[in-house]
Structure 1
Amino acid sequence: MRKLYYASFAYMAVGVASGLFYREFTKLNGFPEGQFTQLGLAHTHLLTLGTIFGLIFLLTEKAFSLSGSKMFDWFFWTWNAGVVLTSAMLIWHGSLTVLGLESTKMIAGVAGMGHMLLTAAFILFFLMLGKALKQREVPATEDVAASLSL
């Protein structure tokens, strides 16, 4: 559970720092205000996919003890790899845009891999959650018997 807390906290710090980098890097390089760059997307990806989802995972862990699952470590590291890879490519691509340099297809491909890792992590998360919910379900006959014994 602490791993999720520390990861969420780290993404909050890096997400806020990336917003500061976005603002200052564009000013420093005379990039026109309001013109699109992927630097702003890195800020929101880190804060949403890292911090907010990390806190959601933490609350879900608290309620269902998902870390007991054999899939938990796969989920945790796949999620982290996806967030880091996606955000790094957004920062790289956004920095090239601000500097007036050409981007390459490799950047888009690696960012796509980051999104695929995030998709895999979400699938693992829902598999773990579904299994935990199924284990908590009470068969209907026991439920009826319990209500009649009142």
Structure 2
Amino acid sequence: MKKTIYILLISIFTTVFASAQELTWHTDMGKASEFAIKEKKPLLMFFTGSDWCGWCIRLQKEVFQTNEFKKWANENVVLVELDFPKRVPQDDNIKAQNRQLQSMFKVRGYPTIWFVNPEMNSEKQINLTSLGKTGYVSGGPAKWIDQATSML
């Protein structure tokens, strides 16, 4: 009986800890910007080709899926995924939004990560102030986080 309770407690603890380390990737830039303004955090805008871009997939595995990055991201930024898939269906509004932002930020290759501060102006429009950009950085999560932190 004690062994069962012990295993149950470990299972609950593991589930709670794992969910605390999960990330929320927003796809709606407007909602993400409002959330970032409320939280007083910059946006990390990840331009990716999730189902075809090898360097994007590598960045996800080597950095974005690590506990080190998850902890850093939850404390420092609001995440936005701006995806350009080839095989995965995508909502037309999201497609249009992503193309507009790609053009606005002159994204020519993937992965590209822009850090921006969203600000609400007097006409209730959101302005984005650029903090810097990066892409794939070899050396694992610590090196990538160091470079990102220097921009923030």
TM range (shorter): under 0.3
TM-score (normalizing by structure 1): 0.27
TM-score (normalizing by structure 2): 0.27
Richer in helix (by share): 1
Higher-Rg structure is: 1
Richer in strand (by share): 2
